[in-house]
Each structure stands twice: as structure tokens, then as C-alpha cells.
Amino acid sequence: MSKPLRLVFAGTPEFAVPSLAACLASGAEVVAAYTQPDRPAGRGRKIAASPVKQAALAANVPVEQPETLRDPAARARLAAYAPDLVVVVAYGLILPKAVLALPRLGCWNVHASLLPRWRGAAPIQRAILAGDAETGVDLMQMEAGLDTGPVLLEARTPIAPDDTGGRLHDRLATLGAATLADGLARVRRGDTLAPTAQREDGVAYAHKLDKAEARLDWNEPAVALARKVRAFDPWPVAEAVIDGERLRIWSAQALDADTGGAAPGRVVATQRDAIDVATGAGVLRITELQREGGRRMAVRDWLNARRDGVAA
């Protein structure tokens, strides 16, 4: 009977947890889980373990948290696990060439886009912001470049008009885990996954999100602003000044409506459950928002709370 596949998993956020579960259920021997060092999190900024660390400890998998893998001692410790394969999912640390070459089968990465589109840190949100009709996950053989390696397996999913960053994140995390499970099952059967080189055209980089991007500029078209609202839910959350008050915007849709010449940013209509704001092109209808220091609420509750009403 052949020896089980020895596997090291490397990941940090919630997105990686389903893929760790897929590795544990695959029949491979998960000999260690690598994750980022514990960091401050939440409103209280208390030191917290990453979601991957919590999941690994619950499964009795040894956890390693090096600050870097460039350190020879850290690389030697990884080599001591003698992995046949390293699976990387949103780990957050760069793997040097010496690490990439260490496992017999190399290093696999589960990436949340259809490469070469949206290489980089924030592919889910960038796909929504760009108005892409489709995205997916790629199981990639890692190499030294940023998300440049050949693709082993791919799975696609449409981006629905109401998909938020959070909703698409969860769907792609599940889809990525299923694609990884398929790849592991094939390798354990003795199959060889055929790598497909990425196209040279169509490269786009998904730069890391910045909180400043979440500030809505009313001079932009309503379509672009509605995409921002969806993409930045649940983080960093779109925000804007409406009728003199700074608000976080949780739910909105673009209307191809005449603003009547109203200046961008002006409230042009109010309903019981929505407010319509003029933009550079069209109207943004807002249905859910949040006051500074307050809770997320329906627009009707915000309207009821404003004794002075809303200028329209």
C-alpha cells in the first residue's frame, strides 16, 4: 500500500478555511498548517488567532507561524516536515524559490479569479468593480512570479447583479475548496494534472483595497457607484455625504433616470424605503445605510430618525 500524500497547508483568512477542510477530508496527511502570526483584530484590537489557525488546532494539526519564510531556520523547519505538496490559499507571505522547489509536487495555489485576469491581492472585489460578468477559481502551480504560474484546474461562476464582495467571497471559497479536492483526488489516484500556461494577453492586477477607495464620488456614474457599494460589502464599506451627513452605504442600485439637472450628490427623491441621489450619470437609489457610530439600518429608519427631514 502506497504511503499517504504528505501535505503542508498555508493560509490565513476565512477564505482559506474550506480549502483546509478539503485537504483534511482528502485522505492526504496534513502534517502542518502555516499561517500568519497572531495579530490585533476587532474593535478591541485584541490579539487573535487567524481563522486557519483556529481550524487547524481544532483538527489537531500542528501550526507554524513564522514572520517570514526567507529565514533559513524557518525553511529548514518546513523541510523537516518532508511535504510532497504545499497548498497555499491566501497565506499572505511570499514563498521564496527555495520553498517552491522543496516539495516533490511543488506548491499549489487556490486563486479567486480566472487568470491572468486579476492577479494579486483583491481579485473578488476588483471583478465586481470592473463589472465582470464572470469569475471563478484557478488551481495554479506556483512559480516565482505573482500569480503567473500555469493553471492545473479551473472552475467558473457568474457574477450576479446583486452579488456583494462578501457573498462572492463565500461562493468562491466553497468553489475553490471543491476544485482543490478534485485536484488532490486525481493526484492520489496517480493522475498527472496537465498545466496550462496563462495567456499573455488579458493580464490585470487586483491591487489591495484601500479604505480611501470606499468614499463615493457623486460625479461618477450611478452604475460605478452601485458596484462600489456591492464590492466593498463587508469591507471597507462604501461611505458618502448625503444631505450633510456622512453615512456608510450598505445597499444601493443604479437607476437610468433623469436627475432633472440636479447637482451630483443632491437627494432628488425620497420614498418610504429609499432615497434617490443624483450622480454624474443617472441616480443611485439607496435602501440601507449606517450612521457614524450607529448600526446598519433600512433607509426608512434613518428617515424616521431625522426630525429635520431630507432636502429633495
Cα 141 from Cα 138, distance rounded (Å): 10
Is 115 annotated in some ligand binding site? yes
Q: What is the separation, in whole angstroms, between the first and last Cα of the chain? A: 76
Distance of alpha carbon 61 from its chain centroid, rounded?
Answer: 25
Is 158 annotated in some ligand binding site? no
Count the alpha carbons within 13 Å of 82 in the hemisphere toward its beta carbon.
Answer: 3
Is 116 annotated in some ligand binding site? yes
Residue ranges for the known binding site for (6S)-5,6,7,8-tetrahydrofolate are 113-116
